Amino acid sequence: MQYILAYILPLLIIVFSGNYFINYIKKLNFGQQVRDYGPESHLKKAGIPTMGGLLIISVFLILSLFFVPLNIEYTALLLSTFIMALTGFLDDFLKIKFERSLGLKAWQKIILQTAAALVTAVTAVFVVKQHSIIIPFLGNLQTGEVFKFILAFIVVIGSSNAVNLTDGLDGLAAGVTAVVSAAFAAIFYLQGLNNYSLLMLIMAGSTTAFLWFNANPASVFMGDVGSLAIGGFLGATAVLTAAEIYLLIIGGIYVIETLSVMIQVPYFKVTGGKRVFKMTPIHHHFELSGLAENKIVFRFVIITIVLSLFAVSSLF
């Protein structure tokens, strides 16, 4: 019953409070700032309420306090998530206040993301003493303290930015995250990590409910406050449970989105303006290639379901 409630409660809270929240941020004029160099089809999205991630993360954090014990491990996880949410909130707020597509400066964002990663790294290495990673189908691999500490920074910051890059089409980040969270809930349940399973179900319920309002055509966007926090949560959880490889597999869409940017940017600079993709992140490449926004989202979600089933099968 507890597992059902962990999924259903956030879903119902967000579905029934969503319209009130959207109307409130409309009154505050929290409208989306569209990038000047983005697809032309996205210009019509300018002014649609953003920072919907506030609802996702608020519900997630509050319900988490009721479902899991506040020991050092879970407190650190929720604190890391909160710091990432704060980073995204400041980024979104500055975009809206100054009516521009860029908010925090890169160094400001990195400092805050590093703080979130540091909380996770210290907790994993020195409190939980988690010095290994799980290799699906093979078992645990001992890594040592230094490697795990460095890996924590890469995974938490990388995951946060990866989900942020994925949040570019209506329903994409929320849809993929709902599947990723549900898959991790199953994996943690099978591993006997019940509290982590509950946390993942709360996130799955929250992001599923958000799709009620974020599916194409979206009436609200999650903004950086949602995407950075979700990515930070997934990354921190992976580090604390030695599930970094599972995140790499299940979050394959996040990885592909990030790699497309990592390939495009240096190639563009080295070749003096040539491109590998029409536009990155890669969902924009498919969009400019003529695929409908909904079709891209559905296909990316289907890929995530397949990757999730593969990952879960490693435990049988």
The alpha carbons of the chain give a radius of gyration, in whole angstroms, of 19
CA 68, chain centre distance (Å): 21
Tokens of residue 185, six digits: 């809930």
Cβ neighbours for 266, distance < 8 A, ≥ 6 positions apart: none
For residue 27 the two structure tokens come to 């009154």
C-beta separation of 136 from 179 below 8 A? no
Report the alpha-carbon angle 300-298-292, nearest 5.
105
Residue with tokens 């078992």: 139
36 is in an annotated binding site: no
Q: Is 92 annotated to bind ligand?
A: no
* Cα 228 from chain centre: 6
Q: How far apart are CA 64 and CA 169, in angstroms?
A: 28
| Enclosing H/E stretch for 204 | helix 194-214
Residues at the binding site for Mg(2+) are: 164, 224
Residues at the binding site are: 164, 224
